[in-house]
Amino acid sequence: MNHQPLAMKGSTVGAILLISGCCIGAGMLGLPVLSAQAGYIPSSLMFIACWLFMLCTGLLLLEANLWFKEDVHVVSLADRTLGKLGKSISWFVFAFLFYSLMVAYVTGSDELFIDFFEAFFAISLPHWLGGLAMIMLFALMIYMGTGAVDKLNRLLMLGLLLTYVLLIMMGNSHIETKLLEHQDWSAGYLVIPAMIVSFGFHNLIPSLAHYLGKDSQRLKTSLIIGSFIPLVIYLLWQRLTLGIVPLEGQGSLEAAWNEGQMATHALKTAVGVSWIVDIAQFFAFFAIVTSFLGVSLSFVDFLADGLGIPKKGFGKVLLCALALLPPYIFSLIYPGAFLMALNYAGGFGAVIIFGILPALMVWSGRYNKGLKGPQFIPGGKIMLVLVMLCSLGVLLLQVYQTINY
């Protein structure tokens, strides 16, 4: 089957930016806190390893997608390659992944909303009101549809990039090289699940395949460059936060980890310069909101498709309630669940849906069903087994963390 389009379709640069934008978000706020015990050098090497792993699984998922002429979602791919059982597992794991991310974003946005009112209006709001106000705002945006979300998201992404650049440039003079010298390789495993989900662009692959007209070479290039940009951004962000915020003591990264707080909270405490604190606050806001909007919109579409609920009238209200109310209730019960939810999303959700399942789908398609198409990952069955073993390793790691922490 020839998968090369007759005419150029879509923009490779556009596809690269979509992938980068999908990866970069609220996960950045938790990564320095989770990796602080390991230190800058160990966590940087783990970032590179996680990027390579997720790029590999992304290319496997792309291979499976290009076997079919029509547009095929990840759940539909599982159905065609692994049967009804594969479809059911992928649906439930996708739902778990979405809910885990939503819990992280609701708890994170709740904290930001309360901090904003305290900083600018000297008003102390209860936690339940902060979270409720945010989910009502997002419910309204989701109800208005993709067009409204797209326009708002462009402005928010611009704000995210601007505040990130300002933080890196202005905060560079506050970095203490001595803080970057700390190394504890035994603590490095704590951050792997969150790193995994921070390179999660895989749900975009079916849309990108359609956008670029199933052009395998341009799709491969887009995945490599699009996922590499977030890697560079994460490494610079790690250097800034781990080089400014002390590991131990009051206002430290260790204290933030114990309290389930975001890295920007510790950063603004450590720096103490008012305008840097304000930039950090706005950066955290843009990171949370852009991620929240993208995931909640995708989740509503996912629920509508899976449950057969129409996206109009009362059906749309019901979908918003199903997507937003359970995470809000969970955030009330566990208000410090931001870091925990990120780890659960990566260690249980992303590693199954974007790790184990792509390897199984490619194995079934290549060796059981005889499906033909471009192959991006060499190594045959050995490589597929290696991917599955690595995925199982991360899964067991998350189980261990859940039991012991």
Mean pLDDT of 198-221: 87
Looking at residue 147, its pLDDT comes to: 66
HSE (side-chain half, CA atoms, 13 Å) at 224: 8
Integer Rg of the chain from CA: 21
Residues 203-220: b if buried by 16+ CB within 10 A, e if exposed: bbbbebbebbbbbbebbb
Q: Domain-by-domain residue ranges, the chain? A: 12-404
Mean pLDDT of 365-379: 90
Angle at 121 between CA 118 and CA 127, to 5 degrees: 40
Q: Is 378 left (phi over 0), alpha (psi -120 to 50) or beta?
A: beta
> Of the spans 131-140, 253-262, 391-400, which averages the highest pLDDT?
391-400
- Is residue 74 a contact partner of residue 203, using CB atoms and an 8 Å limit? yes
The pLDDT confidence band at residue 8, using thresholds 50, 70 and 90, is: low
Mean pLDDT of 28-51: 90
Percent of the chain at pLDDT > 70 equals 95
More confident: 211 or 63: 63
Structure tokens at 386: 């290696």
Structure tokens at 13: 């640069």
Mean pLDDT of 187-191: 79
Looking at residue 57, its pLDDT comes to: 95
Mean pLDDT of 249-276: 76
What architecture is the 12-404 domain classified under in CATH? Up-down Bundle (1.20)
Looking at residue 247, its pLDDT comes to: 87
pTM, full prediction: 0.83
Mean pLDDT of 325-343: 82
Structure letter (DSSP) for residue 39: -
For 266-269, the CB contacts below 8 A with 24+ separation are 266/32, 266/33, 266/241, 267/171, 267/240, 267/241, 269/245
Looking at residue 2, its pLDDT comes to: 42
- Is residue 99 a contact partner of residue 326, using CB atoms and an 8 Å limit? yes
Place of tokens 């700390």: 182
Looking at residue 272, its pLDDT comes to: 66
Q: Is 125 left (phi over 0), alpha (psi -120 to 50) or beta?
A: beta
More confident: 131 or 241: 241
Residue 372 confidence (pLDDT) above 80: yes
Percent of the chain at pLDDT > 90 equals 22
List pLDDT tens digits, range 70-116: 777 788 888 899 999 988 998 999 889 888 888 888 887 777 777 77
Residue 4 confidence (pLDDT) above 70: no
